[in-house]
Structure 1
Amino acid sequence: MLKFVILLSAVACALGGTVPEGLLPQLDGRIVGGTATTISSFPWQISLQRSGSHSCGGSIYSANIIVTAAHCLQSVSASVLQVRAGSTYWSSGGVTASVAAFKNHEGYNANTMVNDIAIIKLSSALSFSSTIKAISLASSNPANGAAASVSGWGTESSGSSSIPSQLRYVNVNIVSQSNCASSTYGYGSQIKGSMICAYTSGKDACQGDSGGPLVSGGVLVGVVSWGYGCAYANYPGVYADVAALRSWVISAANSV
């Protein structure tokens, strides 16, 4: 059976909070090779929270729309969700906004993890500043090997019962869909058209939160989704492919 990795603390161990219902428990949420940072370097990053506890990451698409992973929004109602934006710390600072509604991709499949993307509509618009900014959606994928970064508040060791208070990030390199599905790595046919991968030796894309941003060239290229282990040599982190899912995001943002 697929052993999903909590790429970036969505269900990572206890996450300092509750594990979102509907997420698979057999996850290895280790953070490998990460560095502390501030929100000014990643102003599109938000903390998605359930009943006040950090649950997942996400990215600011517009003043009232957040992009995250569909697996972060299973078995939950909008009334218990809020977003914290503009803060280096998930538990304080910046601003919070309640969630008016959200929409999961209609083709999301929890078994295969295809189309693992969702959008959230906030009850009130964010005010943009040096620490709160939208990020554009990629319209095409970066080249194989391109530099990228992923950020979030993921757990720092396997089995940890808490998450770091300060935002962290790791630099990785893009692994194209075709390369990720090739014999070079261990996933094979589990890599689908709605996925893109990223990897760097000794580090991993499970650095940060599920639902959080994979950024390359200043645009959002991926949404943290799943993986095997963490920093395993033949298993890159797997992300929802934003370029492939871009039209859905734009349509959903206009209709939610």
Structure 2
Amino acid sequence: MLKFVILLSAVACALGGTIPEGLLPQLDGRIVGGTATTISSFPWQISLQRSGSHSCGGSIYTDRVIVTAAHCLQSVSASSLQIRAGSSYWSSGGVTVKVSSFKNHEGYNPNTMVNDIAVIRLSSSLGFSSTIKSISLASSNPANGAAASVSGWGTQSSGSSSIPSQLQYVNVNIVSQSKCASSAYGYGSEIRNTMICAAASGKDACQGDSGGPLVSGGVLVGVVSWGYGCAYSNYPGVYASVADLRSWVINNA
């Protein structure tokens, strides 16, 4: 997907910065301009792994349920998935638990990225501790400009094929749905009512690790979903809005 993002960046430059209809750029997520951290600061963070390799992030909702992005679970079977929780390192430490099943939002659309949320059920319960904790779902969206943070193990620079071993995070500010869809930014009508945005001056516009947590006020407000290019100040990172999708998560968890 990373190459797809870069290709679209070139296309957009040729088209004066507009995104061709139907070519929504997707991303596997990355923390650019972030700082190494420990899992005790983000104990709800997990690494979602395919065949033992990190593929996406996720958030602990209950001791048996993980919230992640629907686009992380395309063309994959539950038997090939596991999560690692309670470790600052995606490849070691903490605990690993197999995935027993998962469910994508029925309204997820890979072309528009609307309803990009999913729940994962684990084969056994997580034991909560100082490094493994659940996080509550936001019941309302934060105000425009509110402080937030996003964490993950995504690549640290555009075009990189390697990921950091240690968890990274970056502080961002919420860009409200209406603001993100306004002429102040470049997305326009591509921002739908199940999305929220976040950005930070001088940092990558698409922070985070797909499926991973955007946290503000101590609650989960977003799930890393998609973005246009990297370090484009006119294109904030776009997240599935947890407040708008909260009832679906509760009903399907």
Provide TM-score, normalisation by structure 2.
0.89
Distance change in 2, residues 1:5/1:146 (3 Å): farther
Q: Please tell me whether Structure 1 or Structure 2 has the larger radius of gyration of its CA atoms.
A: 2
Q: Deviations over 1:187-213 (max 9, x none)?
A: 000000000000111113633310000
1:59 counterpart residue number: 59
Conservation of the 8 A alpha-carbon contact between 2:33 and 2:204 = yes
Do the aligned residues in 2 keep the contact of 1:32 with 1:202 (CA within 8 Å)? no
Which runs of structure 2 are paired with 1:21-32 in the superposition (5 Å)? Answer: 27=27, 31-32=31-32
Residue in structure 2 matched with residue 178 of structure 1 by the alignment: 178
Give the stretch that moved more between structures: 154-163 or 138-147.
Answer: 154-163
Partners of 1:26 and 1:219 lie apart in 2 by 25
Aligned 8 A contact 1:172 1:205 in 2: no
- Residue matched to 1:152: 152
Instruction: Name the amino acid aligned to 1:250.
Output: I
After superposition, the Cα gap between the structure-2 partners of 1:4 and 1:174, relative to the gap in structure 1 and judged at 3 Å, is farther
Change (3 A) 1:172 1:93: same
Runs ≥4 residues deviating over 6 A:
none
TM-superposed CA distance for 1:105, in Å, is 0.1
CA 1:137 to 1:30, structure 2 compared with 1: closer, same or farther past 3 Å?
closer
Instruction: Give aligned pairs, total.
Output: 234
- CA distance in structure 2 between the partners assigned to 1:25 and 1:92 by the alignment: 32
Residues 35-184 of structure 1 mapped to structure 2, 5 A cutoff: 35-184=35-184
Paired residues of 2:29 and 2:226 also in contact (CA < 8 A): no
Which residue in 1 is equivalent to 2:13?
Answer: none
Structure 1 residue matching 2:131: 3-state secondary structure: coil
Q: What is the aligned partner in structure 1 of residue 21 from structure 2?
A: none
Aligned residue for 1:225, secondary structure, equals strand
User: Which structure has more helix as a fraction of its residues?
Assistant: 2
Aligned to 1:15: none
Contact kept, 8 Å, 2:31 with 2:153, in 1: the verdict is: no
- Residues of 1 paired with 2:116 and 2:29: CA distance? 18
Deviation at 1:76, TM superposition (A): 0.3
Partner of 2:20: none
Task: Report 1:197-212 matches (<5 A).
Answer: 197-204=197-204, 206-212=206-212
Q: 2: distance between equivalents of 1:149 and 1:139?
A: 18
Whole-Å separation in 2 of the counterparts to 1:30 and 1:98 = 24
Structure 2 letter corresponding to 1:238: V
User: Residue 211 of structure 1 contacts residue 223 of structure 1 at CA under 8 Å; is this kept in 2?
Assistant: yes
C-alpha separation in 1, matches of 2:241 and 2:180? 13
- Preserved CA contact (<8 Å) 2:153 2:165: yes
SS in 1 for 2:61: strand
Does the 8 Å contact 2:205/2:233 carry over to 1?
no
State the distance in 1 between where 2:198 and 2:121 align: 28
Structure 2: runs of 5+ lacking an equivalent: 7-23
Tell me the amino acid that sits aligned with residue 48 of structure 2: L
Deviations 1:206-250 (A, max 9, x none): 333100000000000000000101221110000000000000000
Q: Relative to structure 1, is the Cα distance of residues 116 and 5 closer, same or farther in structure 2, using a 3 angstrom cutoff?
A: farther
TM-score by length of 1: 0.88
Q: Which amino acid aligns with 1:36?
A: A
Q: Percent identity?
A: 86
Check conservation: 1:175, 1:198, Cα contact below 8 A.
yes
Alignment-mate amino acid for residue 223 of structure 2: V
CA distance in 1, matches of 2:185, 2:49: 34
Q: Counterpart of 1:221?
A: 221
- Structure 1 unmatched ranges of 5 or more: 7-23
Q: Distance in 2 between matches of 1:212 and 1:28?
A: 10
CA RMSD of aligned residues (A): 1.8
Q: 1:51 to 1:223 in 2, by over 3 A?
A: same
Contact in 1 for aligned 2:205/2:232 (Cα 8 Å): no
